[in-house]
């Protein structure tokens, strides 16, 4: 059967009509199923043949675990809906896809680059991230090195306390341990935090590589954001769940509960906004062109009659050759 023009137009919903990032469901985890495009949306076809709708337009992250296959049409719909797809193993390590930004403006990406390139602005942003990690106010005169040292002591204390509560007094952090261990649950819980951070970056159209505290990794900014919530979300969830018969499932449920209870998604969006707002350009959402000494000139204009062109460049243009 054929669909009307209005129906086919729903295959790609305008960004303005998509739900805001901070009002969405944090994540949905799927195992052993096939994700396909249905007539009215994305479906998960389970092993028993039952079909379960996947609310892609209301999701932040769709986590695809072992035994999941996905069609290109379904993946495309999810990406166009602003949903980040995470391809994961049972241990939680995996990769993230990027989704359509939930903003039609490039102002936030420009603001991020402006802050990252300015040493003083970047230091202020790093201080803001460190302050987010401590419940009490920090003295303003602390250096970045001192803040880094305090953060290290805090993390060791949290690990030691949680491990003792879980009956693991000699526990040590190792990222290469398998699933259903405390370290494996930590890997899984942290990966869900990284997925949430990736979705926030994608929604704003930001670069994950332009970190403020972390640098050098392609996901440096994701680490910056996720680290603000590890002591309240991923670490408690991992140590509470590692003794359960199905530690992986218990960890996912505990993380999901923490996301909802602590409003982590809304908090992360607020944090990113506070970081970037001071560095927004005066041009705002305008579509402008770089004009050198003129700074900016209006976009969506043909400047062929207004800008002088040398005879050599004009001749190359008419011949169809590149001028380089």
For residue 17, the model assigns a pLDDT of: 62
What is the maximal distance between C-alpha atoms in the chain? 80
Q: Give residue 225's domain range.
A: 107-279
Task: Tell me how far apart the alpha carbons of residues 166 and 93 are, in angstroms, rounded to a whole number.
Answer: 23
Number of domains in the chain: 3
Do 80 and 220 lie in one domain? The reply is no
Mean pLDDT by 10 residues, the chain (324 residues): 55 62 82 89 91 88 88 88 80 67 84 94 93 80 88 92 92 83 92 91 92 91 95 95 91 94 93 94 70 74 68 61 46
**Angle of helix 264-276 relative to helix 119-133, nearest 10 degrees?**
160
Do 115 and 207 lie in one domain? The reply is yes
The verdict on residue 210 lying in a domain is yes
For residue 319, the model assigns a pLDDT of: 56
The verdict on residue 73 lying in a domain is yes
Task: Tell me how far apart the alpha carbons of residues 55 and 227 are, in angstroms, rounded to a whole number.
Answer: 28
Do 123 and 245 lie in one domain? The reply is yes
Task: Tell me how far apart the alpha carbons of residues 198 and 72 are, in angstroms, rounded to a whole number.
Answer: 21
For residue 272, the model assigns a pLDDT of: 96
For residue 180, the model assigns a pLDDT of: 77
- The count of other CB atoms within 10 Å of the CB of residue 155 is 16
Do 271 and 142 lie in one domain? The reply is yes
**SS3 of residue 59 by DSSP:** strand
Do 150 and 191 lie in one domain? The reply is yes
For residue 323, the model assigns a pLDDT of: 41
CATH number at residue 38: 3.100.10.20
CATH number at residue 123: 1.20.120.920
Question: Domain boundary residue among 96, 116, 136?
Answer: 96
Do 309 and 266 lie in one domain? The reply is no
Do 157 and 264 lie in one domain? The reply is yes
**SS3 of residue 106 by DSSP:** coil
For residue 324, the model assigns a pLDDT of: 44
Do 125 and 166 lie in one domain? The reply is yes
The verdict on residue 151 lying in a domain is yes
Do 146 and 271 lie in one domain? The reply is yes
Asked if 233 contacts 255 with a C-beta cutoff of 8 angstroms, the reply is yes
For residue 41, the model assigns a pLDDT of: 86
The verdict on residue 39 lying in a domain is yes
Listed in order, strand segments (DSSP E) in the chain are 25-30, 33-37, 42-46, 51-54, 59-64, 68-70, 84-88, 94-96, 288-290, 296-298
The verdict on residue 10 lying in a domain is no
Do 132 and 232 lie in one domain? The reply is yes
Query: What global pTM score does this model have?
Result: 0.76
Do 125 and 253 lie in one domain? The reply is yes
Do 187 and 63 lie in one domain? The reply is no
The verdict on residue 218 lying in a domain is yes
For residue 93, the model assigns a pLDDT of: 64
Question: Domain boundary residue among 61, 96, 131?
Answer: 96
**Angle of helix 144-165 relative to helix 119-133, nearest 10 degrees?**
30
Let me know the angle formed at the C-alpha of 177 by 174 and 180, rounded to the nearest 5 degrees: 120
């Amino acid at each position: 059967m054929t669909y009307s023009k209005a129906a086919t137009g729903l295959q790609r919903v305008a960004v303005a009509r998509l739900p805001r990032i901070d009002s969405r469901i944090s994540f949905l985890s799927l195992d052993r199923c096939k994700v396909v495009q249905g007539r009215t949306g994305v479906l998960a076809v389970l092993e028993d043949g039952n079909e379960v709708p996947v609310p892609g337009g209301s999701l932040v992250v769709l986590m695809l675990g072992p035994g999941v296959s996905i069609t290109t049409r379904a993946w495309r719909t999810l990406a166009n809906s602003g949903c980040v797809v995470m391809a994961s193993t049972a241990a939680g390590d995996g990769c993230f896809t990027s989704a359509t930004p939930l903003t039609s403006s490039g102002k936030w990406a420009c603001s991020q680059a402006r802050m990252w390139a300015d040493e003083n602005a970047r230091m202020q942003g790093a201080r803001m991230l460190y302050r987010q990690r401590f419940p009490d106010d920090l003295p303003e005169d602390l250096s970045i090195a001192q803040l880094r040292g305090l953060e290290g002591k805090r993390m060791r204390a949290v690990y030691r306390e949680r491990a003792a509560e879980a009956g693991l007094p000699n526990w040590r952090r190792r990222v290469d341990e398998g699933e259903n261990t405390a370290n494996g649950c930590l890997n899984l819980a942290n990966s869900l935090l990284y997925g949430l951070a990736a979705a926030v970056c994608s929604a704003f159209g930001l670069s994950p590589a332009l970190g403020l505290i972390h640098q050098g990794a392609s996901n440096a900014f994701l680490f910056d954001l996720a680290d603000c919530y590890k002591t309240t979300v991923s670490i408690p969830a991992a140590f509470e769940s590692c003794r359960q018969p199905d530690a992986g499932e218990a960890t996912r449920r505990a993380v999901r509960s923490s996301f909802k209870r602590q409003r982590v998604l809304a908090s992360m969006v607020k944090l990113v906004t506070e970081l970037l707002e001071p560095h927004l350009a005066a041009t705002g959402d305008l579509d402008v062109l770089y004009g050198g000494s003129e700074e900016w000139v209006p976009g969506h204009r043909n400047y062929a009659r207004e800008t002088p062109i040398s005879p050599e460049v004009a001749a190359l243009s008419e011949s169809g050759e590149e001028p380089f």
